[in-house]
Amino acid sequence: MATSQTTIIPHNQQSLITRTYPEQSELDTLIKNASEAQKTWSKVPLKERIAIGRKFMDEFRAMSEEIPMELTMQMGRSPVSQCPGEIRGFLERAAYMLDIAESSLADVSLVDTDKPGFKRYIKRVPIGVVLVIAPWNFPYLVSINSVLPAVVSGNAVIFKPSPQTPLTAERFALALTRAGVPKDIIQVIHMSPSLTTFTIQHPLVNFVSFTGSVAGGRSVEEAAVQAKGFKGVALELGGKDPAYVRPDADLDYTVAELVDGAMFNSGQSCCAVERIYVHESVYDNFVEKYAAMVKGYKLGDPTLPDTNLGPVVSVASAERIRKQVADAVKAGATPLVPEDLFPAAQLGTAFVAPQVLVNVNHSMDVMMEETFGPVIGIQKVSSDEEALKLMNDSPYGLTASVWTNATANHESQEAFLKFADEIESGTVFLNRCDYLDPALAWTGVKDSGRGISLSKFGYDQLTRAKSVHMKIKTN
């Protein structure tokens, strides 16, 4: 049984850092400590917890110069100059969730409908101990969605980072404790799979928030179901997010946005654009522009300033992506980007050449199963109806985007609103993609998971409703 984990640097396959797992008895003690500490933390006034949250932002901001290269070394973010964007997004989400904490966690008064002599209201109370299992691809951006709201709500958090990005959780927790959060309220614990199952099933762990693959989410769900009692589980899983380009789309703008939506972070985003449907009237022009832009990427060492496409997270991931492309080509897809433009993309490395595939269809995994790499399939369609049918023909439903000139054409606005009603996804975008607005609920349907983070509804899954019913007059 493994007793430690080692993070491998994606671009050079060298060891970066090793962390040791606790013994199960040690882990049991840590969870009990969290449970006891939470009873005291929940009694700290909400205004004070929010103030600590604001100080946490200052503490985290003070670390911002150290984070970019550290993050790139852990998971390969390229170029390293993109890392400050994750820090900005992290702080933006933190600020918004703190801004709405007081109203989101306030008692719901029923005074307008109380009968004489009665008073009723609904409280939001913390769940207790929350286990957050974080991913490696956007470790700060995703973790802020649940860790900070959980702490501000009065919960204790057991924070399990991905073995690929252990330092991100440690920095997160350090900023919280420096701001005044008790150390037992935010504990970073590196765990083996068996220890993770033990924690999920621990009777003092009340809720599990998992972000990762469908297979990983299923394992978390099964472990939770097999535990004694009934505990909540939030699952933020994969995506195969579609985009549809209508005839009146601004092609230059749309191409640039959809290339970035597919290639940013080497395509390793749960809400990356992974399949594009283009109306036949603009298909050829769109494809030509798209392929030309992708050919201009520079694949290489993510620590170098002129690199704008780095490695994927591991050699195993690279091999899986290459196989998906090869299988599509074998089935009739046409690749538009010569691999020899990207000499770094060698077998046995984590570097994958970006690829644009046409002549694709839904019999191919590249249009149906998550790629999580710098690959896009583009399919021609003849109508909005065909596009909608294909967009919904997926086991996933995280985000979807429609690209059309809704400002100039009323018909296009009406068309978008129909898509907004009928697309099976958690978020529908008009003329943008791959972005989380903290004021909006982040959620998915089908195999993209369940539960909600961000927005005022994000606090709902980290608390429970408690009804108070008082009969004040008894005579």
- Give pLDDT, residue 406: 92
Q: What gap in Å lies between CA 93 and CA 439, rounded to an integer?
A: 9
| Cβ-based neighbour number of residue 282 at 10 Å | 18
Residue with tokens 């040690």: 26
**Length of the chain, in residues:** 475
Tell me the β-bridge partners of 17.
7
CA dihedral angle for residue 310, residue 314, residue 315, residue 319, rounded to 10 degrees: -90
Q: What gap in Å lies between CA 108 and CA 154, rounded to an integer?
A: 18
- Give pLDDT, residue 452: 97
Pairing of strands 129-133, 463-471: unpaired
Q: What gap in Å lies between CA 273 and CA 432, rounded to an integer?
A: 10
Q: Is 176 helix (H, G, I), strand (E, B) or coil?
A: helix
- Give pLDDT, residue 240: 98
Taking each helix axis as running N to C, give the angle between helix 193-201 and helix 24-41, from 0 to 180 degrees, rounded to the nearest 10: 40
Tokens read off for 455: 């927005």
Q: What gap in Å lies between CA 67 and CA 52, rounded to an integer?
A: 22
Is residue 214 within 8 Å of residue 447, measured between CB atoms? yes
Is residue 381 within 8 Å of residue 280, measured between CB atoms? yes
Tell me the β-bridge partners of 203.
none
Provide the strand spans (E) within 156-248. 156-160, 186-188, 207-211, 232-236, 241-245
- Give pLDDT, residue 197: 98
Q: What gap in Å lies between CA 442 and CA 423, rounded to an integer?
A: 16
Is residue 390 within 8 Å of residue 379, measured between CB atoms? yes
Radius of gyration over alpha carbons of the chain, in Å? 24
Alpha carbon of 64 to those of 54, 61, 169, 193: distances in Å? 16, 5, 14, 31
- Give pLDDT, residue 454: 97
Pick from 8, 116, 98: nearest CA to 46: 98
**Predicted model pTM:** 0.96
Q: What gap in Å lies between CA 429 and CA 431, rounded to an integer?
A: 6
411 is catalytic: no
Q: What gap in Å lies between CA 98 and CA 354, rounded to an integer?
A: 39
Tokens read off for 186: 């935010």
- All structural domains of the chain: 4-237+448-471 (3.40.605.10), 241-437 (3.40.309.10)
DSSP 8-state assignment for residue 442: B
Q: Is 184 helix (H, G, I), strand (E, B) or coil?
A: coil
Residue of 23, 221, 236, 288 marked active site: 236
Residue 47, C-beta contacts closer than 8 angstroms, at least 6 positions apart:
102
The one-digit pLDDT tens for each residue of the chain (475 residues) are: 789 999 999 999 999 999 999 999 999 999 999 999 999 999 999 999 999 999 999 999 999 999 999 999 999 987 788 899 999 999 999 999 999 999 999 999 999 999 999 999 999 999 999 999 999 999 999 999 999 999 999 999 999 999 999 999 999 999 999 999 999 999 999 999 999 999 999 999 999 999 999 999 999 999 999 999 999 999 999 999 999 999 999 999 999 999 999 999 999 999 999 999 999 999 999 999 999 999 999 999 999 988 999 999 999 999 999 999 999 999 999 999 999 999 999 999 999 999 999 999 999 999 999 999 999 999 999 999 999 999 999 999 999 999 999 999 999 999 999 999 999 999 999 999 999 999 999 999 999 999 999 999 999 999 999 999 999 989 8
- Give pLDDT, residue 79: 78
- Give pLDDT, residue 78: 77
Q: What gap in Å lies between CA 295 and CA 341, rounded to an integer?
A: 7
- Give pLDDT, residue 389: 98
